[in-house]
Structure 1
């Protein structure tokens, strides 16, 4: 293995070197001044670890069950659109890698492979992410297809009544190349995403046309009536919304600020995690995404109460560098680093990773 690929940072550099600049900016960029994008990473550095000694760590076990599905590690791949932007196989390669690693895959609504192709490639737990569209009949059809294909849960993104102001895409006049499509939707619904215009984003234009900004808590009942699948809300950052999610009968919540791509200045996901965990019953799973770049980051999020953690951009870095093998390498690195951290912490089980593991990072002298 090349020395540079021993960390996610090395895989990131390799992906950056080979992707076209406008594709890289679409994947990496945040909204506004990218304050939240940067803060997602910086928050992990505010936590120090409190290792315990003389503990038998000969076997560290990161396995768990999540919404009835067994996972070999508390890790999943977050929903992201258009994997074929970085690899010809796209989401099917990602699905195979996640299955090999024993990780969860959340397929995106704007996947560039069909739901059925992704399901056929998957050998592990598979969920489907949805945006709330103006045309509810389209949502209903996707839910029906997901159930028929064996998806295990629905993940409704609730922080995108409109797309954040992503300046990199605006500067690039970014549009999805015509060879890459959101194949699970009618072409007429996604036509705007392919229109390149100077100073405008095809993605933002498409969202403005198709996303329903009137979505409210009462609409969840409509979705519940159309599926038996568990419902996860993605984009929860406050205790208030966490409690409302419980009141409306959701099965899990995902603490996320959309990777810093929506409201710039929104609180870092890691900072929001404890208040959300404290606001919901202990049995309701709280998931987390936002800035995880190592197994130590993963351990910190678990210690703050996340049941499992999703990663987004790193999976696309792996896919860009080496297809299925690259995604598997990303997941395997995170597993290795998590088990290593658990051993050196003296916490060999996931249940041992609680807030006693953490302390504030000391302020620098002077």
Structure 2
């Protein structure tokens, strides 16, 4: 994507000119149709994991309802022909205020999901937060992105040496920030997955950062040196074993004959996340990395203040897309409270509920410096692979640009709360 202004009109021209030739977009321009088509293109297991939420889904619905409670007030005759969508985050200028959120086990929606997303992010000038639970090693994604901007998500392992190993690899892979996810020390209650008895990691999906890690491989080797119980033999167990062999690095037949894939999955499930994660753990980060530290999953203003007091460079206000706690506060509502509590200076990003360019505009007006995009780009991946991810990104940025044009905002700092009104109709 060009970083020059006019992304909206450029996108419109591209789509309408193709329409003259009888070509329709491969990715729908509206989220509802994008979601419908992606569901048809996905397996039940994939859809449950990517689209599902915690409990009764109230947090997911609340995320969307929070946006519906605000109405944009267009302003006329601004005289601004060009718009500057760029923002500065953590000392680097970004072409737009949209970043790609880390999504684990993305291969459920398409093979080599992280590589395809990395290439799409690089092609559109969008920062990609590489997932700790990715299906491609971070080094492969970094190589695919060249000099393009990427950050790395960290889940805090029970093994402290594993934490240090992941941080060192992220630094070596050119990550611009370390995004520590706080809200998934244990998995939430996710009925869609539970009803299928499906956890992708138990089949070896989403553990590529681990199987490619030297510290993790040493832990696996130690496990192989100890006696282990023979697994119960069922048809389902055989299918799982075949999936482990397919998803583990190396040849399929060699993996079938090896105990390593199974031992890797069992080791991952044992150590991937530290349920005892505390502020004391987080206080050690400054001595463990030279990267800017971003803390993701904060919803309470007291937690935001404590994060900043610890020296966090940025906060991601997020409820994990509604996947962790049912009936939790909407991320957008939490953003307003946190921004009011911490003032204008700290860098706040919003995650959870972003679906359109108008949503991005609303989040920026309510205090976000940038937003993270999650499910929509995964749906684009399901429909059209890398080009599908690119199309979703371009569509959202185009709508943001057009919304700015129609509200008289020539640059991101001009998007302020006085351009919104509470929607009394809701």
* Alignment TM-score, normalising by the size of structure 1: 0.92
Asked whether the 8 Å contact 1:30–1:260 carries over to 2, the reply is yes
Asked whether the 8 Å contact 1:72–1:101 carries over to 2, the reply is no
Is 1:90 equivalent to 2:152 in the alignment? no
How many Å separate the matches in 1 of 2:274 and 2:207? 18
How many Å separate the matches in 2 of 1:162 and 1:320? 27
Is 1:292 equivalent to 2:354 in the alignment? yes
Moved more, 214-223 or 3-12: 3-12
- Cα deviation for residue 335 of structure 1 reads 0.6
* Aligned length, in residue pairs: 358
**SS of the residue 1:184 aligns to:** helix
Unpaired runs of 5+ in structure 1?
A: 198-202
**SS of the residue 1:287 aligns to:** strand
Give CA deviations for 1:250-280 in whole Å, capped at 9, x if unaligned.
0000000000011111100011001111222
- Cα deviation for residue 206 of structure 1 reads 6.3
How many Å separate the matches in 1 of 2:191 and 2:268? 16
Counterpart selection for 1:133 from 157, 170, 174: 157
Moved over 3 A (4+): 177-181, 186-192, 205-210
Aligned ranges 1:1-366 → 2 under 5 Å = 1-2=23-24, 5-122=28-145, 123-176=147-200, 178=203, 180-186=205-211, 210-363=272-425
* Alignment TM-score, normalising by the size of structure 2: 0.79
- Cα deviation for residue 207 of structure 1 reads 5.7
Asked whether the 8 Å contact 1:269–1:289 carries over to 2, the reply is yes
- Cα deviation for residue 342 of structure 1 reads 0.6
How many Å separate the matches in 1 of 2:347 and 2:274? 27
Give CA deviations for 1:284-305 in whole Å, capped at 9, x if unaligned.
2100011111100110000001
Q: Say if 1:138 and 1:13 are closer, same or farther in 2 by CA, change over 3 A.
A: same
How many Å separate the matches in 2 of 1:75 and 1:361? 25
Unpaired runs of 5+ in structure 2?
A: 1-22, 224-230, 238-264
Moved more, 53-62 or 103-112: 53-62
- Which has the greater radius of gyration? 2
**SS of the residue 1:5 aligns to:** coil
How many Å separate the matches in 2 of 1:142 and 1:86? 25
- Cα deviation for residue 216 of structure 1 reads 1.1
